[in-house]
Structure 1
Amino acid sequence: DLTEAVAILRGRPPRPPAAPADAPAEAGAGDRRLEDLRGQVHARWAAIVAAAGRHPLLLQGPPGTGKSMLARRVADLLPPLEPDRAMELARIEALVGPLAGLPSRPPLRAPHCSCSVQALLGGGHPLRPGELSRAHGGVLFLDELPEFPRPALEGLRQPLEERCVRLLRAREEAVFPADALLVAARNPCPCGFLGHPRIPCRCTTAALGRYAQRVSGPLLDRFDLFVEMGPVPAAELDGPPTPPGRAEADAALERARAVQAERSRRGSFAEAGRAELDPILAEGIEPAARRLLQRAGEELRLSGRGHLRCLRVARTLADLDGGGPVALHHLRRALTYRRPPPVPVA
């Protein structure tokens, strides 16, 4: 501040730099281990893919399957904030309240499903950032996705694409950064047990139809990764930790980030979750993988956005393997993360 600047000019020693604002939280963040979640191998790898390529992730399953537990661990898989990104986040937080110091770890924001459009996207007088901007550089976790107000969810669509929130009012306007990784979780139906192997669903056909319409198709189409999480057998819950654990995840993420850094130095994209079609194809794709993608686009009726997002995930899977062209097995795995069919209503 100005007082400190004057003191330095008068020869007084400057105050020591403030500790990172989230230093106490970092110790606790390490306690959130992948090993705490038993089973769910497919979902664990989806979390690793999401962190490696910054791919939006949607987890679906009955209560108690570990959706929220896994979603909260995605932020721990992200690398520390770069200085420029940390400064941007500090500026955003300074508009909300006093800062203890410069953040160093990616934030995890998890607003309640009753939050308003203003709380999620920003607003007020004077204009203030919302939860999406406060998750800048980190993770925005929306638990119980269909329970959020429809206007709030629909308001996410443009900021997720542009990675900023534009607020326009009669007398003021503001643009807040909003480069956040979206992670969401939902039950398969209102009672939560549609498709459960042991507990029957109690929902009526009308209730299933209303529930399916709470989240629009265009918003769902913005998720790169869709994972169905079922109940975990008791033998796995009581058994030893199941892979992949944190060590295996860190090794894969290190390989991917090395590939991404080299690609960025060549002037190309870094994370595939932000890449366009031509640059991804320029990095290489095997002919068999290209043919499978074309066939999948016809049989699964992928939109243009869905086609691109599938290819992005396949590119990140290749990065996790150490680089090289997108192979057939990468594309096959990417297709397993596509959105499940709509809930039947008849």
Structure 2
Amino acid sequence: MKSLFLIGLALVLGGQPTNAQPHIYTIGLVFTDLVEQEILPVHLAEQHPRLMREIERAIRDIFTDLGRFRVVRLRSIREARDPTRQESIDYIAHFTFNKAHKTYHNQVIHYYENLGLLDDGGPSEDQSYTVISLPSIVCQLEVKLEDPHRDKIFWSDLRDSSAVIPYDQQLFLYNTWKYPGASHPGLTRAFLADLLRLQVADPATERALNVAERWFVSKPSSDLAVARGVLKGLADNLAPDLDANLPLEGRIAALLPERKGKPHVQLNIGARHGLMKRMRFDVWRPRPSQQKVGQIEVVDVDSTTAIARLRKLDKKLKKRGDGLQIQDRVISPKRPLRRSL
């Protein structure tokens, strides 16, 4: 109620709030594909370019949905720093796909003789066991946020994820090295070449397959669906971190009466843009001025606006009796994560 009263009072006193939206930055997106396509099964290699385009589109949508970025697709980091470029790039988000390939993960199956049961719950004195290899997708995505004007990376992260591909428990090859000729000829013709390619190219897969008794196989459509899902999940999980580590900028929309001897202001951004109580913003005069005014702290928030109090004021401004002004820029370089994104 206090915040609603103060906002109403600001309007009565003649304050002219700006539109309830943050400052729009221009962010350049760079995508680098380092996936070793020669180790991919043929069907995944054929679909890989399309899959990468889909994930790039999903990442672009993340920035669009944040509501404070205009997205530009860049061919390289160098393009953002090109002095002949007509439009300025405020920030760069560089995404590198290191892995997006098929592999095999082992599982130990324990046989309990006395009970005649199949279990994978752990060791027992009266048991035997077998090792099976399950088809999986493993992906790795690296992201770096860079300020091209200072040539500085201010946040980076490396994300890994994997998932077992759905498989038919009746479709498997016996370990070729342990049991040569034991597998069904049709399954051997359909799947052995891809398995051997993975063994040669990936030491981890080679170790897994060498140990296992049976190698389960999966359908090409399942491989593609799981690869798409894992990559999309990696991108979606980055959204809160990207939001938290990229600047949020608004404006002072109205000057409010002092409370307890502290100047208060209304901001043109609110909870919808990520504001919370006790969040602090640096205050700057509008461009082209580079004058830092001080710092404010949010004390009340609604969906599209907020109330903040002055915490610090620049000594020179204080000395000459100057203070916060309507249209001053308020900037938060980074914030706590919003897991609801």
In terms of fraction of residues, the more helix-rich structure is 1
In terms of fraction of residues, the more strand-rich structure is 2
TM-score > 0.5, shorter chain as reference: no
TM-score by length of 1: 0.24
TM-score by length of 2: 0.24
More relative contact order in 1 or in 2 (CA 8 Å, sep 6+)? 1
